[in-house]
Amino acid sequence: MTRVVVLSDLHLSPTHGFFWPNWLLARDAASRLDAACTIVNGDLCIDGPDSDAEMDFAARALATLPGTVLPLPGNHDIGDEPPGQDPNQLVDEARLARWDKAIGPDRWRFRFDGWTLLGVNAQLFGSGLARETEQNDWLDAMLADAKGDRVGLVMHKPLFVESPDEALPSPASLCPAPRGELVQRFCRADIRLVISGHLHKYRDRPIDGLRHLWVPSTAFAGERGLEGDARCGFAVLDFDGDHVGVEIIRPEGLISHNLAAIKQDGRYRFLREMPACPPELAA
């Protein structure tokens, strides 16, 4: 059996410390699990697309995790692919370069016991950037090389929210055209599992023979109106042949913050616009 920890949506910042205590609780609990690797599935930051300091802060936080740490970028780290939630924060070369410099690669492979996990940069799909083509070529090579292995795909955004047929572009998931291309790619391999974050909900659902696992946030609760468990936490995956056991860990003291309340019920549109409230870093 191989154990993998998946943390997601930390939303850390040196100027806005709402979620720092939750991070410390999650990090300490995750560190005790002796996992083969710890995946950090995007949204490390609040304002990573526009702040060197924020990305460096997240990098220092990740450096306190033990063992093999496998980060992936989210929209709060490098910006969204178009159309995105905020037209001022779309993914571009400069934002990718900031991630590269502070964090490192934005895609990776992790192999163990008949499994290949492939972590990809979700925000590249539909971005039109040169790195989107590079990533697709890399993915083709990795999928070809994974022949005989069960494959798990890890990325910040889910492929879709409710149905693979969703036709409208949405910042909640991959957009329809790049989603279709990605599905064509990975259908050539023995794909078993897609792991995503971004929606701040836990959900574990087989759809058309593929298991879609949504990992909760360590920072704040997901919105109502979408099925799934909105409470904060992180996931522990135990891979044993064809079986993948999933447990959601919610360390004592972890607060499932209400984002709307933090943003003072509409007074602030984005957390980054709020008055500074730095985290207490003594711990």
16 binds Fe ion (CB under 5 A): no
- Whose Cβ is closer to Fe ion: residue 15's or residue 196's? 196
Handedness of CA 116, 122, 126, 131 (dihedral sign): negative
CB neighbourhood size of 208 (10 A): 8
Tokens of 218: 């360590």
- Which member of 5, 9, 107, 257 binds Fe ion (CB under 5 A)? 9
Taking the complex as a whole, the smallest distance from the CB of residue 197 to Fe ion amounts, in Å, to 7
Q: Report residue 56 as tokens.
A: 């460096």
Stretch that binds Fe ion, among 35-43, 77-85, 222-230, 263-271 (CB under 5 A): 35-43
What are the residues facing 69 on neighbouring strands? 38
Could you tell me the smallest distance in angstroms from the CB atom of residue 194 to Fe ion? 16
* Interface segment toward Fe ion; rule CB under 5 A; list 69-77, 132-140, 146-154, 261-269: 69-77
Token reading at 137: 């070529």
Footprint (CB under 5 A) of Fe ion, residues 197-216 = 198
Whichever of 23 and 115 has its CB closer to Fe ion, that residue is 23
**Options 8-16, 31-39, 144-152, 207-215: segment touching Fe ion (CB under 5 A):** 8-16
Q: Is 267 strand, coil or helix?
A: coil
Q: Give the position of tokens 């993948």.
A: 244
55-81 per-residue burial string, b: 16 or more CB within 10 A, e: under 16: bbbbbebbeebeeebbbbbbbbbbbbb
170 CB neighbour count, 10 Å cutoff: 14
Q: What does the per-residue mask of binding to Fe ion show for 161-200, with x meaning CB under 5 A? A: -------------------------------------x--
Q: What are the structure tokens assigned to 35, written together?
A: 């996992």
- What are 111's strand-pairing partners? 116
- Minimal distance in Å, beta carbon 74 to Fe ion? 4
* 142/155 with CB nearer Fe ion: 155
Determine if 74 is a binding residue for Fe ion (CB under 5 A). yes
Shorter beta-carbon distance to Fe ion: residue 75 or 256: 75
For the segment 214-253, give every residue that binds Fe ion (CB under 5 A).
none
Q: Are 119 and 39 in contact (CB under 8 A)?
A: yes
- The residues of the shown chain that bind Fe ion, judged by CB under 5 A, are 9, 43, 74-75, 198
